Amino acid sequence: MARSKHRRHSTAIVPYRHRKPIIIRQTKIVKAKRRHHHRGGGMSLGGLFSSQRMGVIAGALAYGFLEKQAFFQSLPSLPLIGKTGTIAVAAYLLSNGGRNKLANDISIAAFAIAANQLGSQGSITGEDPSIGYVAGY
């Protein structure tokens, strides 16, 4: 038997599909912002009053108030670092690794004051004079 050359297609009813309409929208055009060039030069006082400097100034002020108090004279001092260094170490330990900003600023200021006293006088305030400065530390 020979095959017929014509194929028969199925005559099943196909439901009509609604096609969505094609909507063409224009995209929003955003213009690029122009960058303005600022001229550099001149001395600015903006960095003079930075938050870090103001914090250290506040720490030095707080240290000065602590030094004027009567209990400062009764504080024990650690050897080699004196009372100023002891205050600095105690403030650092209270600062919890720098999380307490005021205690951290007090410790920075007290360390700076202790280093200044050591460099200019050869000893730190409240240090036992019998121990003195030991080279190598």
pLDDT digits (tens, 9 = 90+) for 60-106: 888 888 888 887 778 777 777 888 888 888 888 988 887 888 888 88
Does any domain span residue 26?
no
Does any domain span residue 24?
no
Does any domain span residue 27?
no
In the prediction, which pLDDT does 86 show?
Answer: 85
User: Contact 77/128 with Cβ under 8 angstroms?
Assistant: yes
Domain around 55: 51-121
| Tokens, residue 88 | 């600095």
Does any domain span residue 17?
no
Does any domain span residue 62?
yes
Q: Measured at the alpha carbon of residue 4, what is the angle toward residues 8 and 2, in degrees to the nearest 5?
A: 145
pTM (predicted TM-score): 0.56
When pLDDT is averaged across residues 33-46 and rounded to a whole number, the result is: 68
Instruction: Count the domains in the chain.
Output: 1
Does any domain span residue 72?
yes
User: What is the DSSP code (8-state) at residue 129?
Assistant: T
Does any domain span residue 61?
yes
Does any domain span residue 19?
no
